[in-house]
A and B are shown apart, each in its own frame.
Chain A
Amino acid sequence: MKKRSILLNGMALVTAVVAVLFIAAAPHEEVDIPKETWSFQGFFGKFDQAQVKRGFQVYKDVCSACHAMNLMSYRNLAQIGFSEDEIKEIAASVQVTDGPNDAGDMFERAGKPSDTFKPPFANEQAARAANNGALPPDLSLIARSRAGKGFAGYEGADYIHAILTGYKEPPAGFQLQDGMNYNEYFRGHQIAMPQPLSDGAVTFADGAPNTLEDESRDVAAFLSWAGEPNLEARHLTGLKAVLFLVVFTLLFYAVKRKVWSKIH
C-alpha cells in the first residue's frame, strides 16, 4: 500500500489534464468578445452606484424606446441610490392603464413606484411591426442570458458593451440584408438593432463623460445589476459563509486529529 503505483498517479494526472482541457477548449467562436474590468467582478465585487445610476439613465433615455424590462419595478431603483421622491417622479412620468374601476372601465393613471417598468409596445406583434420584423428582447435578464461560456457570470456585461460599441462599416463584399446593421460582435454580424448609442447621445445628470465607450459601459453595468440585484448580498454572505466554514472545518480537523491519535 505504501508504494503508490506511478501509473495510478499518472492516470490521475491525465484525468486532471482532461478536465482542464474540457474547461479550456472552447468552441471556435467567430469573434472573441473583448474582456473588460467591472467593479462587480471578483470575490469582493460591488456595483458602482453612480455608474449603475447613469446606466439607468441610458436605458430610460434610449433603450426603453424599444426594449421592455418586465422584471423591474420603479421601486427597485431605491437600491441604486434614487431617493423616494425621485422614484415617484420617474414613475409618474409614464401613463399606465389600470382598472377596471367601480364602473367597470379601464382608466389611465400616472405610474406608481410599485409598477413595473412600462413596456414600449403593447405586445410582440407591435414590437416586431415597429422594428422591421425583429423583436427587441426584454432586457431584465439580458446580462445573464448572454454570459456565453463565462465562468463567473459577469461576462454578459462584456457582451453588451461589445455589441453597443461594435457597429462598423461592413467589410467589402459583405452581403448586408435590407434594414440590417453590421456589428462586429453579433453572431453572424447582422443585427436588426440600429446603433442605439453614440458620443454625446445621453447627457448624464451627474455630468460624467458621455462618449460612446462611457455610455456603453454604464448601461452594461446597469443591466448587470438588473440581471442580479442581489449580487452584493451574495458576495457578502459568501464571504461570511466561507469564514464560518473555514473555522468549522479547522475545528473538526483538530478534533479529528485528537480523537484519532489514540488509533495511530
Chain B
Amino acid sequence: MTAVFKNPVIRWIDHRLPVFSYLQHEANDYPTPKNLSYWWNFGSIAGFMLMVMIATGIFLAMQYTPHVDHAFNSVERIMRDVNYGWMLRYLHMNGASMFFIAVYIHIFRGIYYGSFKAPRELLWIIGVLILLLMMATAFMGYVLPWGQMSFWGATVITNLFSAIPVVGDSIVTLLWGGFAVDNPTLNRFFSLHYLLPFVILGVVVVHVLALHRFGSNNPTGIDMKGPQDSIPFHPYYTVKDMYGLGVFMLFYAFWVFFAPVALGDPDNFIPANPLSTPEHIVPEWYFLPFYAILRSIPDKLTGVLAMGASIAVLFILPWLDRSPVRSGAYRPAFKRFFWTLVFVCAILMFAGKYAPANYWLPFELTIVPPEYMAAQAHLESVDALWPISFAGGHFGIQIITLGQIATVYYFAFFLVILPLLSIFERTLPLPLSISKAVLESHGGGAQSSSAAAKEKA
C-alpha cells in the first residue's frame, strides 16, 4: 500500500508513519467519478467555510469579553480599534450565512441525486449530525455580541425547551445557569461556541472517511464500474474545486465588503436590554424555515416536536425513499416533487420572517397587518377575518396559513410522497455506465439501455 517517494526524508517518515501514503491515496489518486457536476463543489466549500469560521473565531475570541456588561462594547472595540477587526467580525458574521448556504445546497444536492441511499446511509446520517451541530453553534454564536436580538432570540429559543414535559423546566434552568438569560448563560454559550466547531471538525473527518469508503455519488447515480468511469481526484477535482471556491469567495466578499449587515438584524446594534422587548423577534435567515414550522402549530409542545421532526426526518430519509434509482435525473415524478420541496422551503423561510397574523398580498408584493385587512373589509373586529381574504379587492393569505400549508407539504414529501414514489414511480432507463452517459451527453450515440440501478452493499 505504501507509495514510493523520491524525497529521502519523506520516505523515512512515511515508512514509520504512512501519512504521506495516506494523503497520496486519499487526496491524490482517490478515484472519483468523471462526471461530477458543479453541485459537487459545495462539500469542499463547506469545509473551507468551517476553516474560515475557526480561524476568524479564534482571533475574535482574543478580543472578545464574555460578560453581560462588556460583551457588546468588546465587539464594538473589535470593529473600531482592533486592526482589521471589522474585517474579522464581518467575515465571521457573514461566514455563518455562507456556511449555511453551502451546506443547504449540499443537502439538497444529496436529496436530488439520492446520495443518502445505500451504501452511503451512514455518511448521510453523519452529515445531518453536522447540520445539527452547526445550528447549535450558530445559535450560541449569535448570542455572544449581546445585542437586543441576541438576548431576545436566546430567550425565545431556550424557552422552547420548557415545553418538554417533566424535565423541560430543569433543562431550561440548566441552559440558563439560573432563572433568566443572564451572565451565566452568556458564559456557557461562549464556552460551547468555542468548543462545538472543533467537534464539528472531528465529525467532518469521520464524514470524509465514510465518503472515501465508496467514493462520491454522481449525477447518474450509478456506481463506477471500472477505470474508464473514474479519474484521479488530483488534479481534476482539485482544480475544479479551486475554481468553484473562487466564484464562491467572490460571492462571500460581496456581502462582507459591500453589504455586511444586510443579512443581520439592525436591532442587534442596540445593546441587550431585558426590560425592553423588540417589536419583532426573528432569528437569522438560516433558521427561518424551522421557525415557521414551529409557529405554524399553535400548541407549543407540538410545535417544538414538529420543528425537531423536520430535522429528525432527514436521519431516516434512506429508509423513506426506497426507490432503487438514486438519481432524480431518471425519476420524472420525483423531480417535480423535489423542486416543489425547494419552493416550499423558500415559502417557509418567507413565513418565518413575518408575524403569523399578518397577511401576504402576493399580487401587491407586500405584507399588511390584520387591522389593515379588517379596514378594507369594513369589519369592526380583526377576529372576523379569514385565513384567506379578498377584503376590498385585495387577495391576501395569512402568514400562518401559508406556513401551515408549507409545513404539511414538507412532511408529506418525506413521509408520504417518497415512500409512495418508491413503489409507484416509473423511472427512466439508466445509462449503462458513467462513461457511456458522459459520451452521450456530449452529443454521442443511441438511447442507452438500462443498467442495474444500484448495487447493494
Residues of chain B in range 23-53 having any CB-CB distance to chain A below 8 Å: 34
Q: Is B253 touching A152 in the complex (CB atoms < 8 A)?
A: no
Q: Is B336 touching A11 in the complex (CB atoms < 8 A)?
A: yes
Q: Which of B79, B339, B350 has the most CB of A within 10 A?
A: B339
- Contact partner of B258 (CB less than 8 A), chosen from A28, A148, A156, A238, is A238
* Chain A residues in 8 Å Cβ range of B1: none
Q: Is B339 touching A27 in the complex (CB atoms < 8 A)?
A: no
* Chain A residues in 8 Å Cβ range of B86: 228, 230, 233-234
Q: Is A22 touching B266 in the complex (CB atoms < 8 A)?
A: no
Residues of chain B in range 212-255 having any CB-CB distance to chain A below 8 Å: 219-220, 231, 235-236, 239-240, 242-243, 245-247, 249-250, 253-254
Q: Is B239 touching A255 in the complex (CB atoms < 8 A)?
A: yes
* Chain B residues in 8 Å Cβ range of A12: 339
Query: Is the CB of B401 closer than 8 A to any CB of chain A?
Result: no
Asked whether A249 and B243 contact (CB < 8 A) given A145-B269, A152-B262, A233-B86, the answer is: yes
Q: Is A145 touching B267 in the complex (CB atoms < 8 A)?
A: yes
Query: Is the CB of A205 closer than 8 A to any CB of chain B?
Result: no
The contact string, 1 if C-beta is below 8 Å from chain A, for chain B 352-373, is: 0110001010100111110010
Residues of chain B in range 258-281 having any CB-CB distance to chain A below 8 Å: 258-262, 266-267, 269-270
Query: Is the CB of A229 closer than 8 A to any CB of chain B?
Result: yes
Q: Is A238 touching B242 in the complex (CB atoms < 8 A)?
A: no
26 A-B pairs whose Cβ atoms sit less than 8 Å apart in the complex: A1-B441, A12-B339, A25-B350, A25-B367, A26-B367, A27-B358, A27-B366, A27-B369, A28-B369, A70-B73, A141-B270, A147-B266, A148-B266, A152-B258, A153-B259, A227-B269, A228-B79, A233-B86, A234-B86, A234-B260, A235-B258, A238-B253, A242-B250, A245-B250, A255-B242, A259-B235
Residues on B facing A (Cβ under 8 Å): 34, 73, 76, 79-80, 86-87, 90, 219-220, 231, 235-236, 239-240, 242-243, 245-247, 249-250, 253-254, 256-262, 266-267, 269-270, 329, 332, 335-336, 339-340, 342-343, 346-347, 349-350, 353-354, 358, 360, 362, 365-369, 372, 437, 440-442
Residues on A facing B (Cβ under 8 Å): 1-2, 5, 7-8, 11-12, 14-15, 18-19, 21-22, 24-28, 43, 70-71, 137, 140-141, 144-148, 150-153, 156, 227-230, 233-235, 237-239, 241-242, 245-246, 248-249, 252-253, 255-256, 259-260, 263-264
